[in-house]
A and B are shown apart, each in its own frame.
Chain A
Amino acid sequence: TQLLEQSPQFLSIQEGENLTVYCNSSSVFSSLQWYRQEPGEGPVLLVTVVTGGEVKKLKRLTFQFGDARKDSSLHITAAQPGDTGLYLCALTDSWGKLQFGAGTQVVVTP
């Protein structure tokens, strides 16, 4: 059973456009992490959100944690080719271990 659903699976946009990717769970979770995996690299942590309704900003990236702590979104403003990568969300399960979604592949073309 997959705990996390990420959508869309794939997103291709032009440089300068905005995009939003989503992460949803059927269960409430205590914290959620977003990672970005660039081609040929391992995932790198972008942010951890822990409080329902929390919004965190990292330059052009805005992360939101739903009030019910069952969903999260990542919004990128004015995307750049360097934003290309696989965006993964991960939650801490009841055994304290991270469970990952399948990811959203984002491609930003110049």
Chain B
Amino acid sequence: ETGVTQTPRHLVMGMTNKKSLKCEQHLGHNAMYWYKQSAKKPLELMFVYSLEERVENNSVPSRFSPECPNSSHLFLHLHTLQPEDSALYLCASSQEGRGLDTGELFFGEGSRLTVL
């Protein structure tokens, strides 16, 4: 099994649809992340979960709703998205130490989202 698995790999949805992105990590890590990757822009950190608790939400619109039911699974629920939300959504995991610094991130292959 690969370390971090994301499904679906591609998703096309209308602005009124509700869909979800799924991420699963098999590395035993204690932190999981959602990043948004748009062309020619830096990766944007959206959400961070540490020990299944959300520790960061970078002013992400409420039409994106994360869920972390356990340390191995992370979801991103999508509702009434806009065309500008079209992007590659990357999930990552890491093993957080006692310090605050983020160690190596292990990324999934991403979910390519197109909003029509």
List of B residues within 8 angstroms of A68 by Cβ: none
Q: Report the Cα distance A74→B49, complex, angstroms.
A: 31
List of A residues within 8 angstroms of B106 by Cβ: 45
A-B contacts at CB below 8 angstroms, number? 53
Among A30, A31, A35, A97, contact of B45 (Cβ-Cβ < 8 Å): A97
Interface centre among B100, B105, B106 (most CB of A within 10 A): B105
Among A88, A97, A100, contact of B56 (Cβ-Cβ < 8 Å): A97
List of B residues within 8 angstroms of A9 by Cβ: 40
Q: Report the Cα distance A33→B43, complex, angstroms.
A: 14
What 0/1 pattern do residues 38 to 75 of B give for CB contact below 8 A with A? Answer: 00111101001000000010000000000000000000
The closest CB in chain A to the CB of B103 belongs to A48
User: In the bound complex, do residue B42 and residue A45 qualify as a contact, i.e. CB atoms below 8 Å apart?
Assistant: no
A-binding residues in B (CB < 8 A): 4, 35, 40-43, 45, 48, 56, 90, 92, 99-102, 104-110
Other CB < 8 Å A-B pairs besides A97-B45, A97-B48, A100-B42, 6 of them?
A2-B42, A41-B110, A44-B107, A90-B43, A92-B102, A97-B56
